[in-house]
Structure 1
Amino acid sequence: MGTCFSKEESKREQIEELKKENVTLRQELKKLHNEFGGENYVLKDDFAEIKKMTAQVTLPAMPKNSSIKTIVGKRVRFIGDVDDVTEEWPGVLGEQEFHTGRHYWEVEVGEKQSWRIGVSSKPVAHGEANREMLGESYWMLQLQDEQLSARSAEGEINLQNEKPWKIGVHLDIDKKNISFYNTETKTQIHSFSLTGQRTIGFGFYPYLSPGSKDRDLLAILT
């Protein structure tokens, strides 16, 4: 009996040691990535944990804005006049409103020349979300004239990241943070802190704008 107990105890100790070694190895790996310029790289296991938070995101069937069209609740394209500057950033909010927890979704931007992807905490009727209607309640990535940038009420930051093909959006409401990922390279593009009065008492809605430079689709993949 004592021998069996001793063996079980030894196994538990070995398991605990392996767990500690695994944590140490992960810390060392992250340190190496930082030292060699890979500070935005997301480890495979960490990215898998983020993807466990995948949420169903859908778009309204008939957005009020007539310059965009949604298809089967998952795709949106610009159908307006490309020469009309007043239609530069027609947008749409997702039908889901998130109040707590973590939520993740992916959007394929492909070779589009312009787009905006992010969240807004300002509800808008019929899913319409034009630039003027978002006010100060938005946090997004933008591509325009081959320049990738991060935009919010605090201003605009030009980013040096390569142009992504697919973007992962991770909204962590409890920690008041939203992060954007290049899903193919498993790197973080940018993150925002969701703080301030404009986040109090509101939920968060997925936001997409196909821009007005082309008629290619933005496609929600989750």
Structure 2
Amino acid sequence: MAVLPPLLAVLVALALGLLQKQRRRQEKLKKQAEKRQGKLTVELEKLQTELDWRRAEGQAEWRAAQKYAVNVTLDPTSAHPSLEVSEDGKSVFSRGAPPSPAPSDPQGFSEQKCVLSLQRFSAGRHYWEVQVGCSSRWLLGACLAAVPRSRPMRLSPAAGYWVLGLWNGCEYFVLAPHRVALTVRVPPRRMGVFLDCQAGKLSFFNVSDGSHIFTFHDTFSGALCAYFRPRAHDGGEHPDPLTICPLPLKGTCVPEENDSDTWLQPYEPAHSALDQW
């Protein structure tokens, strides 16, 4: 009995020591977590600043491109038989029946079901906008006027095509020359295309938020046409066409827009993945 109180005192002292050690460890871990959180916050702030800067740069580039707006019209004689061009030459949609299931690789197109512009661009700067709406598949850009379109081919710069596309409503991509997936913050309902022949640049802009998406840098070996390829008709009553938008032309004033509202459009769910080209 005489040794019991000292033993209890030792046990209590050990327990208190363990509690203090655990408390110090928790405080140390808390300080480390706060330090990591602080570093993460700083990195996120830097990233946000970089994103804001890039967006501002992209919007400035887009505003500058708008000053070179041209009147683009579709050439019905260049349209694939499955495509229908409006009388005013401003819209195109697929009127054919849905094809067999699409290939797993959207780079391999069985036919060039496209339409080109009447205009040929071999010099200067040119900008146009296209309403893509809620279409789940489309391709836009430019191609060499002399490039053959009657046989299957890879839509790459090496073949004379500089295009950006949407696949199954969820993946934006280019072939430059290999497939490159693109990150788009706001799904575009309207696309801007800017061609600078002398600089060898073809740029794509998301008019829905004024952001820059992608730019091809190349040497164009001949005159180019604007390129349009809508998705295949899915059997719906009102298939979404690709429509060239009216713009103030070169030499006229391009009105400034309120960045907070008019270009932003609500996102709607993409069409089913069963939609075919």
Smaller-chain TM-score bracket: 0.7 to 0.9
Q: Is the 8 A contact 2:58 2:212 kept in 1?
A: no
- Which range is displaced more, 47-56 or 96-105? 47-56
Q: Map 1:156-167 onto structure 2 (within 5 A).
A: 156-161=179-184, 162-167=186-191
Q: Deviations over 1:143-197 (max 9, x none)?
A: 0112111224x121101113211000010111101110011211101111023xx
Alpha-carbon distance in structure 2 between the residues aligned to 1:206 and 1:66? 18
The answer to which of 180-189 and 212-221 deviates more is: 212-221
Q: For residues 91 and 120 of structure 2, what CA distance do their matches in structure 1 show?
A: 18
Say if 1:131 and 1:74 are closer, same or farther in 2 by CA, change over 3 A.
Answer: farther
Shift of 1:52: 1.1
Q: Residue 65 of structure 2: SS of its match in structure 1? A: helix
Aligned residues: 184
User: Aligned partners of 1:130, 1:33: CA distance in 2, in Å?
Assistant: 45
**Which residue number in structure 1 is paired with residue 164 of structure 2?**
141
5+ unaligned residues in a row in structure 2: which ranges? 1-45, 103-108, 247-277
Given that residues 230 and 241 in structure 2 are in contact (C-alpha distance below 8 angstroms), is that contact kept between their aligned partners in structure 1? yes
Specify the alignment match of 1:76 in structure 2.
92
Whole-angstrom CA distance in 1 between matches of 2:123 and 2:171 = 32
Residue of structure 2 in register with 1:106 after alignment:
129
1:58 aligns with 2:73: yes
TM-score by structure 2 length?
0.59
- Give the 5 Å matches for 1:6-45: 35-38=49-52, 39-42=54-57
Distance (whole Å) between structure 2 residues aligned to residue 75 and residue 216 of structure 1: 10
2:90 partner amino acid? K
Tell me the CA shift for residue 83 of structure 1.
2.4
SS of the equivalent of 1:36 reads: helix
Q: Among all aligned residue pairs of Structure 1 and Structure 2, give the percentage whose two residues are the same amino acid.
A: 27
Which residue of 2 is the match for residue 132 of structure 1?
A: 153
Q: Which amino acid aligns with 2:153?
A: E
| 1:34–1:150 Cα change, 3 Å | farther
Corresponding residue for 1:221? Answer: 245
The whole-number CA distance in structure 2 between the counterparts of 1:41 and 1:181 is 13
Aligned in 2, Cα 1:87/1:66: closer, same or farther, shift over 3 Å? farther
For 1:74 and 1:129, how far apart are their aligned partners in 2? Answer: 23
Partner of 1:206: 226
Q: Is residue 53 of structure 2 the alignment partner of residue 67 of structure 1? A: no
Match of 2:214 in 1: 190
C-alpha separation between the residues in 2 aligned to 1:60 and 1:36? 42
User: Residue in 2 aligned with 1:92?
Assistant: 115
The 2-side partners of 1:185 and 1:98 are apart by 27
Q: Measure how far apart 1:55 and its partner are.
A: 0.9
Q: Name the SS for the 1:192 alignment partner.
A: strand
Runs of 4+ in 1 over 4 A off after TM superposition: 43-46, 85-89, 128-131
Q: Alpha carbon RMSD of aligned pairs, Å?
A: 2.7
Does the C-alpha gap of structure 1 residues 110 and 205 become closer, same or farther in structure 2, counting only changes over 3 Å? same
Give the distance between the partners of 1:159 and 1:43, measured in 2 at CA: 15
- Which region of structure 1 is more displaced relative to structure 2, 137-146 or 33-42? 33-42
What TM-score, normalized by structure 1, do the two folds share? 0.73
How far 1:41 moved relative to its partner? Answer: 3.7
Gaps of 5+ in 1: 1-31
CA contact (8 A) 2:73 2:118 kept: yes
Q: 1:59 is paired with a residue of what secondary structure?
A: coil
For residue 37 of structure 1, what is the amino acid of its counterpart?
L
Letter of the 1:120 partner, please give it: C
More strand by share: 1
